[in-house]
Structure 1
């Protein structure tokens, strides 16, 4: 039966097998009375029957998927809490060899080991990578896809460090800014209800911060003070957190800074 208001388009593929792409494409665009997508083997093409707007959306997605794959696989991962359009560019910065300027879909240069595409219709990520890289991406997604703050202004920010180990900094900042810390392997994991989560990213020696706008500003301000190079000793930044029982941290910091020049006060 003809689809009312629809056009029929034959879209040829260069690299991917049209028949193998059908399951993924129809997950994003399920077959309905107004959408039909069929493989056409003679041309290694897709026959798309839909209205012009939907047809173009399907072609846009197919073009992002139709790349030289080698041993890379395609995986669709649905998110529970985080926004796909927010996570895709963040993950691309971490895992992609080169980033191509685009509209936030996480596009990477041809030949890049990892490509991550946001699929807002399902709030999902499409990951194109080899098995090992896919597992690494999924492990990081599991840490990032957490319950968002009730204020609705939860943000994600990637912060590269120059002079400090991301692992050490994540642990320290989690102790300072988290309501409660869950024992882990140094990723800075926090309790489910905590408004701040800080995760180390060893690939870039960076921190991934999940927090509200005000908390992020406070964290960035503290990182700027801690991530410094100590010229006198020619060593990278080193620090230790001390809890005071009786003295006021601000007053103590002023006094010790006059003596050493290397004290940072945190009033929390």
Structure 2
């Protein structure tokens, strides 16, 4: 069993129209859905076959009142949520939802790094077993990349290195856009990258890339489903192509995959 501590293990969409989100992501990424509601909260699982990939829920009323838009939130596995939440604070981050139990699921806390990019700390209950092994790179429907839009990526990396022990990988010179710093969880294969957000991006945040078979086909589905393709297709090292998108409710996400033969 791979040690899944300090990895992203879950992804959750909080939105203003869960019914439309089910249809949209089902079309674009190929996800199925399964109800996992609890007495106090409606909750839907996004699935590939029988395997849950992420969750879907209503954007909490408190978040709406604060002006928070629909968004994807990543969960990072930790050994102890309470200890990790305290560490976030000690490193200059913020705890937004203190350590809280989810009945029959586990314990979580919603936090943000010192530059206000949000994520969730998570520890599943033993009865839940360990989260599934990370899928092979590029497996359709799974998450292929994690990208941090930071104010200062070097300070951001220092936070995540201290927090989770993440390691620097290759640093890619993107010209006027500056450095794109790859990172890995255990010094092995890169799990994502960090860079300084362009001025056109209004806030710091984590962007998650979902694997698809064909980027052009998926882009057409984004548009026909009421979403927007904001950037791309762009080729990235390794030969894959990416597009960055907004769903019909405004949540940001991205897709990564191959392109049709006509675009080779």
Q: TM-score, normalised on structure 2?
A: 0.24
Which of structures 1 and 2 has the bigger CA Rg? 1
Which structure is higher in RCO with an 8 Å CA cutoff and minimum separation 6? 2
Higher helix share: 1
Q: TM-score, normalised on structure 1?
A: 0.24
